[in-house]
Amino acid sequence: MPSFHPRRQAARRLVLTALLVVPLLVVGLDLCLDRLLPHWEDPERAVLLSRLRDRVAEQPHRPLRLVLGSSRATNAFDGRWLSESDPHGPLVVNVSLVGSSPFTSLLTLRRVVAEGYRPRSLVLEVLPSYLQNPLITPQGQPPELHRLRLADWPLLYRLHPEHSLGLTWYMAEARTARCLRHRAELMARIWPRLAPPDRVRFRAHQEASIDSHGWHSFRMDPVPTEIAKRGFEVARTVYEPALREMRPPSPVFARVMKELFAFCHEQKITVEAVLFMPESSAFRGFYGPGVESGLSEIVSSVCEQHGVRFLDARDWCPDDVFIDGHHLTARGSRLFLERLRREQDRSRN
């Protein structure tokens, strides 16, 4: 052992302790978030699960039907109207998440079941653009990394084995020091007066805008031209490149759907339908030749293999009920749900 001058030794101890404490603290906080406070990182899902908890507590004996999907389903499925208009039917709760892929829907379903709820049935929405690249969302990011917990990683790797290298890179980038990355969200919970006010306002708005059954309604009707125009331009930027040409079907989608259907089968959950949500005619113009029908064929063949009904609702609604070409207004939601109910009645008869 080299002999150190006491002051030098003290300095060495100080530096090494500091260098050890920083990663230990960060990893400790990350683990704490992952194991104990996952809802802090994913407040949207936390709000939806709390809505589900409250509705089931109110009507514990009513069969539960979940709606799983992306923001399109969030805007479209008014669970309260569906539940109240058919008092003998199931209790419908919308647990769709913004930007959700079928993989995230699978995770949500597993969380719901892990919390002790046993839905009788579910409706699953699939975002067509997701089929074009199941690893990367239309926004150019891997699907919902901030919503993944450590326990979800094996499933993610199992379903995306061909992307393991890319996923590892994304994981390392997005998941390292997540307590620091989500510090504004954490601060909004721990000490709201110190958190960025826009973040606190956003959280309050997010919570207030989701109704008792998980529906996120858009009540401005007609949609102000400026909002519609801006929204459509955003949609064009995000979705048009993904829908312009048909790419060979990825095995990941089939694998995720197979896993989801197997889980439903295991938990005795009936999959009522898999859906492509309504889109305006202008939005459908983003599809290149053969892409629209090609994507339908992929989903319908996967559904057929598992005996699940696929409904392509892309042309069900008129153009004036969209906020931005692919998210429905409250009036659009009602039109869509009435049509969906007719379709289901017809299939039953």
CB of 200 to another protein, least distance (A): 9
41 or 272: CB nearest another protein: 41
- What is the H or E stretch that residue 243 is in? helix 225-243
**Member of 1, 3, 10, 126 binding another protein (CB under 8 A):** 10
Query: Does the footprint of another protein cover residue 187 (CB under 8 A)?
Result: yes
Residues 119, 159: Cα–Cα separation, whole Å? 24
169 contact partners, CB below 8 Å, separation of at least 6: none
Residue 66 backbone phi and psi in degrees, to 5? -100, 150
- The region of 2-10, 86-94, 210-218, 312-320 touching another protein under the rule CB under 8 A is 2-10
Among residue numbers 198 through 227, which ones bind another protein (CB under 8 A)?
199
174 or 254: CB nearest another protein: 174
Residues 151, 153: Cα–Cα separation, whole Å? 6
How big is the chain, counted in residues? 349
**Member of 184, 282, 330, 335 binding another protein (CB under 8 A):** 184
Query: Does the footprint of another protein cover residue 11 (CB under 8 A)?
Result: yes
Query: Does the footprint of another protein cover residue 16 (CB under 8 A)?
Result: yes
157 contact partners, CB below 8 Å, separation of at least 6: 164, 167
Structure tokens at 73: 């389903």
Sign of the dihedral through C-alpha 177, 180, 183, 186:
positive
Closest CA to 80 of 313, 255, 334, 343: 334
Query: Does the footprint of another protein cover residue 139 (CB under 8 A)?
Result: no
Query: Does the footprint of another protein cover residue 196 (CB under 8 A)?
Result: yes
**β-sheet bridge partners, residue 121:** 65, 270
Total Cβ atoms within 10 A of residue 53: 15
53 or 183: CB nearest another protein: 183
For the CA atoms of 223, 137, 266, 60, the dihedral, rounded to the nearest 10 degrees, stands at -30
Mask of contacts with another protein, 143-182, x by CB under 8 A? Answer: ------------------------------------xx--
CB of 182 to another protein, least distance (A): 10
Structure tokens at 325: 């070409």
Among residue numbers 22 through 81, which ones bind another protein (CB under 8 A)?
22, 25-26, 29
CB of 3 to another protein, least distance (A): 13
CB of 267 to another protein, least distance (A): 39
- Amino acid at residue number 110: R
Query: Does the footprint of another protein cover residue 238 (CB under 8 A)?
Result: no
Query: Does the footprint of another protein cover residue 21 (CB under 8 A)?
Result: yes
Query: Does the footprint of another protein cover residue 18 (CB under 8 A)?
Result: yes
The answer to whether 41 and 178 are in contact (CB under 8 A) is yes
- The region of 7-15, 33-41, 92-100, 282-290 touching another protein under the rule CB under 8 A is 7-15
| Cis peptide bond upstream of 196, omega within 30 | no
Residues in the site for another protein, rule: CB under 8 A?
Answer: 6-22, 25-26, 29, 179-180, 183-184, 186-187, 191, 193-194, 196-197, 199
